[in-house]
Structure 1
Amino acid sequence: MKKYLLTFAATAGLLSAQAAHATELRLSHQWSTKDVRHAVAEIVANEVAAADVDLNIKIFPSKSLFKPREQYRPLSRGQLDMTVFPLSYAGGQQPAFNLTLMPGLVKNHDHASRLSKSPFMAALEAKMAEDDVMVLVHGYLAGGFVGKNKCITKPADVEGLQTRAAGKSFEEMLVGAGASIASMASSEIYSAMQTGVLDAANTSSSSFVSYRIFEQVACYTPAGDVALWFLYQPLLMNKTAFERLSQAQQDALLAAAAKAETYYLEEAKKQDALSVEVFRKAGVEIAEMSPQDFAAWQTLATETSYKSFVASVPDGQELLDMALSVE
């Protein structure tokens, strides 16, 4: 009997030790399971599972765990392990993050990728580290405008319209153009258009499609040769949670993240063209922003968004100059 008890205790101890090494991470995001950002999360989760390092990532899509704008704070506090998140949503905690949604700052997807690897991004990552947050997967998505009753291509087109813009900088620019602002997450655009709360909106090409905004609008101005709208939407992780993982688990997670980042860039480029096809098929008019329209928005942004950012962020001019220096 004594021998049996000893054997049982040893087995229980072994199982307990194995369980201690098995880790489950919770990953939250606001998008549907058809969205590219969910696919990025799935790649990381699936690659980690395939690595067989006793690490499981459970994904909570469609704002099922936290509200869209309320994910950064629980992430920084260790109440959430991972999130795919528009960093500008956390501009209230770190005003410098508003620079990740600045009109006209990013020229195209390849330029966005270079920004992600630049000293500018390293400076932002240092600020994230202050909040116990780190980047696993870098990613920018482009976007455009929709109008419920008219096309939006130049600043004069939004005058007098109730407009949704993601992020403080775009809101400031649109106010400068004479628009009224209704702040909300991209997941709320559909119902706001449907109920007459919104006349116009801008968000990512992917969100326009995944939230079926084409059902509520008359005209779509997509990202084309000139794209005014780029938003940094990385997969973030609580830094302490990452550091608690074993070396094998960390290695598997970083390898999975690298694969997901390559996919994210390739897919981001496809999203713009896909969105045009979807909107056109739905009978929505497609408008194009000309280089002259783009220049007019940039001039307005310099007078509004850029100026306000520099005035409100202690190292704002330095950060803005770092971003603008990336060719």
Structure 2
Amino acid sequence: MNEIRRQILRGLAASPALALSLNPGQLFAQAAAELKISHQFPGGTLTEGDFRDRLCRKFSAELAKRSNGALKGTVYPGSSLMKTNAQFSSMRKGALDMSLVPLSYAGGEVPETNLGLMPGIVTSYEKAVAWKKAEVGKALANILADKGVFVVSWIWQAGGVASRTKPIVEPEDAKGLKVRGGSREMDMVLKAAGSAVLTLPSNEIYAAMQTGALDAAMTSSTSLISFRLEEVAKALTTGRGKTYWFMFEPLLISRAVFERLPKAQQDLVMTIGAEMEQFALDAAKADDQQVVSVYQKAGGKAYDLSDATVKKWQAIARETAWKDFAGKNESCARMLKLAEQAL
């Protein structure tokens, strides 16, 4: 028995209460650290299912592999760990380790995050990817850090529309329909187009459309597939090629949790997170194409957008959502200017 072990045992003998509070494994070996990763999307495997779930699983597997088991991630899909809308707030408090979540869901707490689903502000994957190194992306990352959350992976997805009745292609098509926009800013555009809006997370769209409470929903191509919306909606407006809105749906980590990790593990989290971005980009583009075949196979029809149509939606957004966002506070006004510079 080495001297360090003798000293530990002598100390425990002198403090029976401490000895009883520890199990034998804690005396001589530190347990592997675990990061709990929550998201709202359907669960799958490393190779099958919603790419956002697969990304979390790939991220977790790489963590365990490269840390030799010292750091691992456990994925909780389908809001099984906590409710969807509680995730961002919980990360800020350190009560949740990580989440892959649409950033606009945090708009009630941090108004600047609504820029993550601002209609008309991002119109291509190329522009979306450029945000990470652009001034707008740096500013957004700094705001999130100040609020207690770090961006691990920058993930963007094109948006489409599923409708139970007529397709929503032109702004006038939305008139009189009950539509889920996905963000306060998108709701403003829809209202200007004559829609009634319904606010709910994407994992609740199916039930709302099934009951008739909702006529149409705007969400990512991946969600249009994963939540099986082709079963309740037969008209699809795709996000392939051209669209007037993109969704920022990053993998995030609680700052409090991150800062408790050793420096080497912090570096590992960020390195692997950055590596996941190419996988996310390729998967999002693939889903933009796949969603068309999914809906057509189910008997639905798919519609694409023209440049002229995109500009119509963008014009409405400028006069409604953009003005409202900029008027919230100086920080939002500054963020919008930076975003416009990246157009």
Shorter-normalised TM-score: what interval?
A: over 0.9
Q: 2:58 aligns with which of 30, 36, 43?
A: 43
Deviates more, 1:317-326 or 1:173-182: 317-326
> Per-residue displacement from partner, 1:112-131 (whole Å, max 9, x unpaired)?
10012211011111111122
| Between 253-262 and 282-291, the greater mean CA deviation after superposition | 253-262
CA contact (8 A) 1:53 1:249 kept: no
Aligned to 1:271: 287
Cα shift at 1:43: 1.3
1:162-191 per-position Cα deviation (integer Å, ceiling 9, x unaligned):
111101110000001010011111111111
- CA deviation after TM superposition for structure 1 residue 293, in Å: 1.4
Partners of 2:296 and 2:28 in 1: CA distance: 54
> The residue matched to 1:169 in structure 2 has which SS?
helix
Shift of 1:14: 9.3
- SS of residue matched to 1:315: helix
CA–CA distance in structure 1, aligned partners of residues 89 and 243 of structure 2 = 30
SS in 2 for 1:191: helix
- 1:195 pairs with one of 211, 231, 245: 211
Query: What is the TM-score of this pair, normalised by structure 1?
Result: 0.94
Q: Select the residue among 309, 313, 316 that pairs with 1:300.
A: 316
The residue aligned with 2:37 is 27
CA drift at 1:85: 0.9
Q: Deviations over 1:48-76 (max 9, x none)?
A: 01111511211111010111121001110
Write out aligned runs for 1:18-167 (5 A). 19-20=29-30, 22-33=32-43, 34-51=49-66, 52-167=68-183
Query: One-letter code of the match for 2:9?
Result: A
Larger RCO of the pair (alpha carbons < 8 Å, separation 6+): 1
Give per-residue Cα distances to partners, 1:81-119, cap 9 Å, x unaligned. Answer: 000011110001110111111111112112110012211
The answer to whether the Cα contact below 8 Å between 2:162 and 2:236 also exists between their aligned partners in 1 is yes
- Matched residue type, 1:194: Q
Q: Which amino acid aligns with 1:9?
A: L
CA contact (8 A) 2:240 2:285 kept: no
Give 1:318's aligned residue: 334
How many Å apart are 1:231 and its aligned residue?
0.6
Q: Offset at 1:147?
A: 1.4
Contact 1:32 1:62 in 2 (8 A): yes
* Deviation for aligned residue 1:15: 4.5
Number of residue pairs matched? 325
2:188: which partner in 1?
172
* 4+ runs deviating over 6 angstroms: none
Q: In the alignment, which residue of structure 2 is the partner of 1:214?
A: 230
Residue matched to 1:9: 9
3-state SS of 2:330 partner: coil
Q: Which moved more, 1:291-300 or 1:81-90?
A: 291-300
SS in 2 for 1:56: strand
Which stretch of the first structure deviates more once superposed, 126-135 or 174-183? 126-135
Q: Please give the root-mean-square deviation of Cα atoms over the aligned residues, in Å.
A: 2.2
Mean alpha-carbon deviation: is it higher for 317-326 or for 18-27? 18-27
Letter in 2 for 1:289: L
Post-superposition Cα deviations, 1:181-230, rounded to whole Å, max 9, x if no partner, equal 11111111111111000111100000000000001112100013211121
Secondary structure of 1:58's match? strand
With the length of structure 2 as denominator, give the TM-score of the two structures. 0.90
Going from structure 1 to structure 2, the CA distance change for 1:17 and 1:319 (only over 3 Å counts) comes to farther
1:232-253 deviation line (CA, Å, top 9, x unaligned): 0000001121121122322322
Q: Deviations over 1:20-52 (max 9, x none)?
A: 462111110000122111111111100001111
Q: Could you tell me whether the CA contact under 8 Å between 2:154 and 2:274 is conserved in 1?
A: no
Query: 1:283: which partner in 2?
Result: 299
Partner-residue secondary structure (3-state), 1:220: strand
Structure 2's unaligned 5+ residue stretches are: 11-21, 44-48
User: Which ranges of structure 1 fall in alignment gaps of 5 or more residues?
Assistant: none
- Residues 39 and 76 in structure 2, CA contact (< 8 A), matched pair in contact too: yes
Residue 63 of structure 2 aligns with an amino acid whose one-letter code is V
SS in 2 for 1:160: coil
